[in-house]
A and B are shown apart, each in its own frame.
Chain A
């Protein structure tokens, strides 16, 4: 009976994963990430120095990562799926390389005094990661990634003074908007 019960649970999990609509991307976590980004944007807007501005956004990146991860844990628990189910594993593995490149480029751009390009690069590479990771997820996820990429491209082509508002619109607005859609349609 034990083996049969295990087999049944595995069967349910595999069916859910195959059904394709289970996304490890947490809608509520995404809303939380967006909310913290909007808050960070307000604080960052008050900063006159580039270093302080960057420090706030780096801190926000850490907070958002934590919120997103916690959202994934809660969602996986609610769906009784392992955190690193096939869907979650593929998502994380696809998201990681662009984020690592993003971290590397942040350092390089900062050291070369090109900090103005950082917001555009962040939005663009985060969007790239979400698009590639979203290939294994529900359709709304890669769409969100494309919106981030568009915001990143626009930020790179816009005056540096607008960067903070692109960050707010991207990491704040897009996360909240798509988070609501994901939470409502795809189980939290």
Chain B
């Protein structure tokens, strides 16, 4: 039975269709699980699949799907290898992914500033 994470539930709060200005956000990063993956990789040189799974508390399938989306967008790079005959999947944030996170942070900060100035 699939284990439910708190993250996808919280992600529901941020569904773009419910937020008028969300259309301007980078939708790849805006989703909570993907945002967590990118944030965790931003402060680590690399993280294994297992590290990320434990950190974000999602199921294998959920993590795979979201990591693949980030990979397809060029935000993270995945390397597969073997360590003592065990498969090891490692993720790193690409320069493009770091830029995307910075833009996302800028966007959030600008939004907060704009609301305060109103």
Contacts and interface: CB of A to CB of B under 8 A. Distances in A.
A86 to B, nearest CB: 13
Chain A contact patch, size range: 20 to 34
A11 B35 contact: yes
Interface string B84-118: 00000000000000000100010011011001100
Contact of A8 (B20, B35, B43, B116): B35
A142 B108 CA distance: 35
Given A1-B21, A4-B19, A12 B105 contact: yes
Nearest to B20: A1
B44 interface: yes
Contact of B109 (A9, A16, A22): A9
Nearest to A2: B115
B108 A8 contact: yes
Given A9-B105, A11-B32, A18-B55, A1 B115 contact: yes
Contacts of B36: 11, 15
B40 interface: yes
A5 B108 contact: yes
B48 interface: no
A181 to B, nearest CB: 11
Contacts of A186: 43
A149 to B, nearest CB: 27
Nearest to B102: A80
A180 B29 CA distance: 31
Contacts of A77: none
Interface of B: 10, 13-14, 19-21, 32, 35-36, 39-40, 42-45, 47, 55-56, 101, 105, 108-109, 111-112, 115-116
Give the top 6 A-B pairs by smallest Cβ distance, nearest first: A2-B115, A15-B39, A19-B40, A21-B44, A22-B43, A5-B111
